């Protein structure tokens, strides 16, 4: 797992969240959507947009899904024991529906992780605010279900491009305009799997959402929260030896 993460920038953990717990989380999200927005995940007559976002869910089931033994072990292996902050609740949820329309959020990008002096989004080579990008699958996600696309190995190039900006970081949109064409040759991997699977992704991996196929069976429900560092910044680029740091230190040699 560690060597794949260093090489490719992501790992797939099948069944990291027990299937019954993932089902309970989905039921809670369905009830909240029906109550607050009048949208039923099980009733196509109310699906009127290609994507709907839910900011977060604080139910104990979601907290449990973010901290299973399999995930805690993986966090320790990739980020370092004591160097990540347990999540309370879960979010953000981009829920995609098999209906026509442009979602407006399907461009290639790297995640921002902190706000600059002007309040705008930024990212830095030592990765303040984010130790990992995580993709929690709460429904089955197949090729027709708008799986997130990951540019395998792109984190190496992104680390090199970020280095000149130092800890102050780069402005997000301008940096994406630089990083996206620079990583266009990377192979693409689709984050497919079963409900309860989790993808742990290096925060510098270039990725994008997809438009859902009209032939998909139903909505795709995932969450894409950060794993936050216990202290800032997330990466120690001088003495750090965790895999998330190895990637960057090796890329900067």
Q: What mean pLDDT is predicted for residues 47-66?
A: 95
Tell me the C-alpha distance between 154 and 151, whole Å: 6
Considering the domain 2-251 in this protein, what is its CATH number?
A: 2.60.120.620
* pLDDT at site 251: 83
**Alpha-carbon Rg for the chain in angstroms:** 18
pLDDT tens digits for range 81-132: 999 999 999 989 999 999 998 898 999 999 999 999 999 999 999 999 999 9
Quote the tokens at residue 222.
């995932």
* pLDDT at site 250: 86
pLDDT grade, residue 2 (50/70/90)?
Answer: very high
* pLDDT at site 11: 98
Q: What mean pLDDT is predicted for residues 6-31?
A: 97
* pLDDT at site 26: 97
Q: What mean pLDDT is predicted for residues 2-18?
A: 97
* pLDDT at site 166: 93
Tell me the C-alpha distance between 11 and 243, whole Å: 12
pLDDT tens digits for range 124-134: 999 999 999 99
b/e 149-169 (16+ beta carbons within 10 angstroms → b):
bbbbbbbbbbbbbbeeeeeeb
* pLDDT at site 247: 87
* pLDDT at site 92: 93
pTM of this prediction exceeds 0.95? yes
Average pLDDT, the chain: 96
* pLDDT at site 239: 92
**Helix H or strand E encompassing 22:** helix 19-37
Tell me the C-alpha distance between 187 and 105, whole Å: 21
Tell me the C-alpha distance between 197 and 145, whole Å: 15
Q: What mean pLDDT is predicted for residues 47-59?
A: 94
Q: Percent of the chain having pLDDT more than 70? A: 100
Q: How far is CA 59 from the centre of its chain?
A: 20
Is residue 45 packed enough to be buried (19+ CB in 10 Å), middle (13-18) or exposed (0-12)?
exposed
Domain residue ranges in the chain: 2-251
DSSP letter at 234 equals S
DSSP letter at 152 equals T
* pLDDT at site 253: 81
Is residue 226 packed enough to be buried (19+ CB in 10 Å), middle (13-18) or exposed (0-12)?
buried
Q: What mean pLDDT is predicted for residues 46-75?
A: 96
* pLDDT at site 238: 92
Q: What mean pLDDT is predicted for residues 147-152?
A: 98
């Amino acid at each position: 797992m560690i060597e794949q993460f260093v090489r490719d920038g992501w790992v797939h953990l099948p069944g990291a969240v027990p299937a019954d717990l993932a089902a309970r989380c989905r039921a809670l999200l369905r009830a909240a959507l029906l109550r607050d927005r009048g949208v039923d995940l099980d009733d196509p007559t109310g699906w009127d947009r290609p994507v709907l976002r839910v900011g977060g869910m604080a139910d104990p089931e979601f907290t449990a899904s973010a901290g299973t033994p399999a995930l805690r072990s993986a966090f320790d292996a990739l980020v370092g024991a004591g160097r990540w902050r347990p999540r309370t609740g879960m979010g953000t949820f981009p829920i995609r529906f098999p209906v026509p329309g442009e979602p407006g959020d399907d461009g290639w990008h790297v995640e921002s992780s902190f706000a600059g002096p002007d309040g705008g989004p930024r990212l830095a080579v030592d990765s303040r605010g984010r130790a990992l990008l995580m993709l929690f699958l709460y429904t089955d996600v197949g090729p027709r279900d708008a799986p997130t696309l990951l540019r395998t190995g792109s984190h190496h190039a992104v680390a090199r491009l970020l280095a000149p900006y130092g800890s102050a970081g780069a402005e997000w949109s301008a940096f994406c305009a630089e990083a996206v064409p620079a990583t266009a040759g990377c192979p693409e991997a689709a984050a497919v799997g079963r409900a309860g699977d989790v993808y742990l992704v290096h925060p510098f991996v270039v990725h994008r959402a997809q438009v859902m196929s009209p032939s998909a069976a139903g909505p795709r429900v995932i969450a894409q929260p950060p794993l936050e560092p216990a202290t800032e910044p997330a990466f120690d680029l001088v003495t750090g030896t965790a895999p998330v740091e190895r990637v960057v230190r090796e890329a900067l040699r």
